[in-house]
Amino acid sequence: MRVLGIDTGSRITGYGVIDIDGADCVFVECGIIRVLASASLPVRLKAIHEGLAGVILKFRPDETAFESVFHSLNVQSALKLGQARGVCIHAAAAADLPVYEYSPAEVKSAVTGYGRAEKPQVQQMVRALLKMADHFDSYDASDALAVAICHAHTHRFKKLAVAGR
């Protein structure tokens, strides 16, 4: 099964693609969709949607996983993030992909064992879990891979629980 993890942002959206092979997660690709901060919000949203639709078309994932919205003190930032998440979820839904969501604490806990881990810890564990030698250029890409890994582990345990009934 192939999973696309997405770390949505209104300026930078990270994506990470992994294959699930039994209990193992295998790295396929990761990257970012960067939009111009100076562009209007509709133009940025269109670029995010087109970029993610291209990733979906290229890598053909079976499922998508998103980090759920966190609380923000800045209402405008939260609204922009919500709109960016909406176009990302639409890109997945338009490709008939199942969409799963995980809280930031669930993602961090699944990857590091600690729900309040910092970004460098998450990034280091993603590299270790996926047996990657290279460093990431962006926390957005490693966070997206963390979401995909979280989904792989959570999905696997749910399947095992259902099979054990």
| Cross-sheet strand order for the sheet of 63-67 | 24-34, 12-21, 2-7, 63-67, 99-102
Active site (annotated) includes residue 67: yes
Q: Which residue in the list 7, 63, 106, 143 is annotated as catalytic? A: 7
- The rounded radius of gyration (Å) of the Cα atoms in the chain is 15
Residue 101 among the catalytic residues: no
Rounded to whole angstroms, the Cα distance separating 115 from 121 reads 11
Q: Is 143 a catalytic residue?
A: no
Number of residues that this document lists for the chain:
165
CA distance readout (Å), 36 to 44, 47, 48, 155: 7, 9, 11, 35
Active-site residue identified among 63, 106, 140, 143: 140
Q: Which of 50, 62, 63, 67 is catalytic?
A: 67
- Helix-then-strand count for the chain, H and E: 5, 5
Residues forming the active site: 7, 67, 140
